[in-house]
A and B are shown apart, each in its own frame.
Chain A
Amino acid sequence: MADDVIEALEKKENQEPSESEWKETGNGPILSIGNLRVWFELKKWGFAHAGYVRAVDDVSFDLEAGGALAIVGESGSGKTSLMKTILGLYEPHEGKIVFEDRDISRFNKKELDWYRSKVGFIQQDPYGALPPFMTVKTILEEPMKINDVKDPKEREERVLKVMEEVRLSPPQEYLEKFPHMLSGGQQQRVVIGRAMIMEPDLIVADEPVSMLDASVRVEILKLLESLQKSHNLAVIYITHDLSTVRYFSDRIFVMYAGELVEKAEVEQILHNALHPYTKALLKGTSEPDARNADIIKEIPPGEPPSLVNPPSGCRFHPRCPKKIDGLCEIKVPPEFEPAESGHLTACWLYDNDVDKT
């Protein structure tokens, strides 16, 4: 009998790599994405292949432990597909997602569960994100039940702790409430609490404040910022709204039609945007200023291209005001680093060898 227990314990030790082991592997990136393509197959008559929707095409980046990055882009640019692939909800067509030095595509069921408990997910619509038939307590306990936290006492302690962290206090007042009894901000705090309850290393936040009242937005963003600092969280913040980015992101990636067109520090983007699309996006962002009412903004003509049949070469070329004929529509631009170091952009304008006339 005792032998069985020991054996079981040993087995468990062998199967589950202890956390410290992973942390020790150094200061390398917590999440590393290489040449990721997320393509969805289109089918004719239910079985015949009819092409792909190239939602994410050739995206690469690294995210340091405790770092925060924002992915910005229009609707339909592939942000959501990228996020869902990182969450393990979509299978990548090609490319690698490496989390704490392990390739998630090779994970078995158990490792996948471990990975999912290490990645928290904050959704856009807090009301939709909470099951209307569960109490706050049940909602917060669900991830723990799924991830084998079997002791009800421990679960309750962690629920109370996380509720304090997301400032739902006193917790007892909220435990037995259903989502519809909470305000939008409180709902979003529950969503954040649920993402935090498994003590993740990475949080993926999909437009966490866009559905909230303006008055609550700042609070929620500050809460996220403080959680990030106190837990040394890596955060991927996905938004179409540049005005909320600067709250806690270090870097911004601009996404267009499934590709990252510019990667830079927040300040670099805001003051020295390089890619024509980024510039257009920045112009589109409104500041609450009465003078803006009379200004007609220059926005790129046309709409984001179809992802089934994206434009050849640079995908922005049909809308680009600075298009270089004979180049942009033919060759896909590599990443250039024309200004500050670490400020990358995929645009032929910054290739020194190209005649810009």
Chain B
Amino acid sequence: MSEIVVSAVSKTWGGVGGVNRISFKADAGTLLVLLGPSGCGKSTTLRLIAGLEEVDSGTITIGGRDVTHLSPAERRISMVFQSYALFPHLNVAENIIFGLRVRGVGRAERDERLKRVADIVGLSHLLDRKPSQLSGGQRQRVALGRAIIAEAPVCLMDEPLSNLDAKLRHEMRTEIRSLQQRLGMTMVYVTHDQTEAMTMADRVILMRDGVIEQNGAPHELYNHPASDFTARFIGTPPMNIISWRDGSLLGVRPEHVSIVESGGVPATVKATEYLGADSIVLCEVEGETMAIRQPGFCQLHAGDKIGLGWQDRHIHLFERTSGKRRDAGAPRH
């Protein structure tokens, strides 16, 4: 099957940006998310896999075949671009079958595959439209259709949902994930949205400044962040990180902090955000901000003095200087 193996791949532009000796593997038929803030090298990594950029060093194999120096077409991949990259002068049908035409697939097979793909992405009634006559979500579907009609074992997606509104993004997220599973594609998916990463991925690779910060399943990144960077990046709101004794940082998730009657860490309420199912209380603790998740509506007001507590099994310790996770010697509060 088509697993993707990236080994020790580097790419810079005159020493600026890019990625530095990254290695990872995407198992066949799984969805791997490359996650990170802008400029972290996630899109570069995707473009290197696609062959749109040339590696400086390292190798890339797809399905056991070394593709490091092959052209994008020879790598047998499909790709969805952030801007969708639809051909504006071609209608939906022509956009979807563009690649089939290039490869000289016969008319009968083309029509048959178009029909099938149009059904899958729900565009059967819009095949004659031009991209400019479509909504953002429909354009996204055209790009998706163009990617899956190729029946390539590997599909690469570069922030495909970032131009959609929140509701549509949620819908398409589910749809892309179920499509990937149904068709058994190996998918590499680039995003800066950690919610997308957490909900869709089999495996998440969090990147930072051209290197891999952490590589693991979504629950591993959430429950065992390897660094304070991961801890701060994953979760809404992210993990609270406060200075702790002997040069370490203490991290605790907002849902693991509780308000205690007595003996807790003293804090002052700064604001509350009511979200419906729960509320987020923002507090000030010794000059630092902590978020607390409380079920339902929260009666606290700005200025209220409260005490905070948490259980030892819920805390994470990180080195202050390196940010690395420190596992032994969890202190008592």
A and B held together in a complex = no
**A residues whose Cβ falls under 8 Å from a Cβ of B:** none
